Amino acid sequence: MAGLMGDGRPERQDIASRAKVGLVVLGGFVALLFAIEVANSLMMGALIRTFGLRPRSPDGLLDIFTFPLLHANLNHLLSNSLPLVIFGFLVFLSGLRVFLTALAFSWLGSGLTVWLIGNGVTVGASGLVFGLFAFLLVRGFFNRSWRQILLAMVLFMGYGSILLGALPFVAGYVSWQAHLGGAAGGILAALLLRPRDTAVVGGS
């Protein structure tokens, strides 16, 4: 009778499968952002004027769902693209549900914060970048996973300086509100996705 193999092959295959799907999803999302940027340039910035987030405007609530898809210019998009792919890919390795939850909370957290306390029309995916990054930084502590904590330490050493962009006296002309709200959303997502302790009830 054949025994079960304990070499971890199913787990490695699952991670490899997630990695492939993650690259496709993140690559497709960034490609969409570039397509929107081209269209916006051809339309002389009309998309930003229509779908950029307008703080404290009733119509601006709908802009929460569109403003991360738009960028002020190509350089703005390029600065967001690489960290978005890196952080999004690393989150995606934990599964589609985890990725979508972290992305949704980062998106909404960033948008609601800008709508409440932002200044001027705001666009850009940097709030998503901050949210996914914050998620990666804290999830290991909620999950009690030394591997995720180690990854968080490596990411912090490499990218930790970007967190300064969530401070109003450092961010300058960029939207620190979007950064702060996105990071808060990422942390909340990690908290909600933490493992639940299950109680075992024994009989006498």
**Catalytic sites, residue numbers:** 126, 179
Residue with tokens 């970007």: 162
What does the alpha-carbon distance between residue 147 and residue 140 come to, in Å, rounded to a whole number? 7
Cα 85 vs. chain centroid, distance in angstroms?
9
Residue with tokens 């990218």: 159
Of 145, 138, 69, 132, nearest to 101 (Cα)?
A: 132
Token pair belonging to 19: 């990695």
Token pair belonging to 5: 């193999």
